[in-house]
Amino acid sequence: MLSTLAKEAAVMGEAQRLFGVLHSVSKTKAEKWTLEDCLAAAAYTLAINRFKKEQNAVILAHSYTTPDLVYGVADFRGDSYELALKARESEAEKIIFAGVWFMAETAKIINPAKQVIIPAGKAGCTLADSMTAQQVRDLRAKHPGVPALCYINGSAEVKAVCDVCVTSGNVFDIAQKMPGDELIFVPDMLMAENLENELKRRQTPKKIISSGGSCCVASSPDKTVGMLTERGLVNRLEAEYPDKQFVWPFGVCSYMKKNTLINTLEALVDPRAEQVVEVDTLVAQQARKAIDNMFELTK
């Protein structure tokens, strides 16, 4: 009886902790997170946080995942570059990466000896899936000697055939540091266009040779009526600036939302094969060079 009461008190305490952060966060257009929602999440966040400690695991959550993950269980939250840095610095034995596949793959490439698990399993990404390594090889063969940059939203195989990996935060500075007046940039066509314009503006023009696709969220028709970002980022602003109002609409990345408290708990307790990230050793070694070059050129 006493232990049941103690468990209920612990769940209620956890629900109140969650509600303290999430009360200002939108769950739908019309509703905010309620204490009942937090109560439903609390048993999971308590269990996940306990297993995480017992297993010396760290949870990295991309800002586009859901707020119960971002504020309930994540040790670190951020964009793909910030999380790649955290994965590199982490001393935990196990990395749980709530994000999409290419991000968890990057964490595995940086930490080959660690177990890296992605709760959502093979969560794709429109952008990463728009380009294959063979397409990059063909492009490089057509433009011999031209340095190739790859946006971090690319598969390990694509990173392995490029010289430097970049993110939206460092792409302009890294591009400026590359030799020659031409650059290959994959797989984001929109970012390639921005890159060419920005380099012109900085008076260091380069011809950008590109191929690939675009993000289904960033290129959503919603953009035309004021989409600022992905919903998860708006949720983070709502949690961290509870006195401010943020406008809808925004895009939603359905791949990121495949990470849930339930599959995060599963990833810790008994991961399914498709949640465990493995990268071919040779591909990982080659991709690592492109990732290390990014860290080096960002210093």
Contact indicator for 83, 99 with CB cutoff of 8 Å = yes
Q: Which amino acid is at 148?
A: A
Q: At what angle do helices 2-22 and 35-54 cross, to 10 degrees?
A: 110
The answer to the question of residue 234 lying near ligand SF4 (CB under 6 A) is no
Contact indicator for 252, 229 with CB cutoff of 8 Å = no
CA distance 13 to 76: 22
Which one, 123 or 146, has the nearer CB to ligand SF4?
A: 123
The answer to the question of residue 230 lying near ligand SF4 (CB under 6 A) is yes
> Which residues touch 228 (CB under 8 Å, ≥6 apart)?
234, 247, 250
The answer to the question of residue 153 lying near ligand SF4 (CB under 6 A) is yes
Torsion sign across C-alpha atoms 137, 148, 99, 268: positive
- What is the nearest approach in angstroms of ligand SF4 to the Cβ of residue 212? 11
Which one, 129 or 238, has the nearer CB to ligand SF4?
A: 129
Tokens of 3: 């232990």
- What is the nearest approach in angstroms of ligand SF4 to the Cβ of residue 127? 4
The answer to the question of residue 215 lying near ligand SF4 (CB under 6 A) is yes
Contact indicator for 198, 190 with CB cutoff of 8 Å = no
The answer to the question of residue 109 lying near ligand SF4 (CB under 6 A) is no
Which one, 55 or 135, has the nearer CB to ligand SF4?
A: 135
Which one, 120 or 261, has the nearer CB to ligand SF4?
A: 120
Interface residue with ligand SF4 among 107, 127, 174, 265 (CB under 6 A) is: 127
Which one, 49 or 168, has the nearer CB to ligand SF4?
A: 168
Summarize as ranges the residues that interact with ligand SF4 (CB under 6 A).
Answer: 100, 125-127, 153, 215-217, 230, 253, 255-256
